[in-house]
Amino acid sequence: MKYFSQIPLIGIIRGAETDTVEGAVTAALAGGLRTLEITLNRPEAFEQIEKIRNRFSDDMELGAGTVLDKDSAEQAIDAGAEFIVSPAVLPDVIEYCQARSIPVFPGALSPTEVLSAYRAGAEMVKVFPIGVLGPDYIRSLKGPFPQIPVMPTGGVTLESVGDYFKAGADAIGVGGELFSRKWLAEKEWGSVEKAANAYVQAVRESR
């Protein structure tokens, strides 16, 4: 994941209609964001992944989020997903992704879950939802687990990006702050592009 290694930020597009997804991706790319995730909250999500993958090809890295079982992971990967994100530690999903050589980012919150996800084969552990705990929690996790790559997700604001990286975060995941329901509904692509650029710059400055 070359783009993700350069800018460790995943933009999360959740539950959007297909034409909206295409507009959102175009705006995010214009803002400099190259790693995006489409969540599987709609039946047409697999079709969306395939369309975006075919249209933008080598310009980005595209993953599937809210993956809850092996079958969904298989469908998403077959549609073109290059990485898989789940909201919990799901051994069957992790095992399947390992077999397909696909990076997997399981969601975890407690120290036990974080360690279990890592031992199961997680490329990086999505610490979720982080907004209720904040950067200090990441710092606390990194005490006993300095070797575990973590990606706080769910409530990372533009103002807190630097604090998360200072606390030891290896990446961040951002959804509603980048792709607000209002912006998507009203197709305010300029706002999406501006937010994407602001987050990209904040990540660059924080590393």
Catalytic residues: 37, 126
> How far does Cα 114 stand from its chain's mean position?
16
> How far does Cα 199 stand from its chain's mean position?
13
Number of H helices, E strands in the chain: 10, 9
- Rounded Cα distance between 33 and 166, Å, is 21
Q: For residue 8, what are the CA distances in angstroms to 57, 61, 150? A: 19, 12, 11
CB neighbours of residue 23 within 10 Å:
18
Helix intervals (H) in the chain = 2-6, 18-30, 45-56, 70-79, 91-99, 111-120, 135-142, 161-166, 181-185, 189-206
The dihedral through the CA atoms of 52, 58, 12, 79 has a sign that is: positive
Q: Which two tokens stand for residue 189?
A: 């692509």
- Rounded Cα distance between 189 and 191, Å, is 5
Provide the 3-class DSSP secondary structure of residue 100. Answer: coil
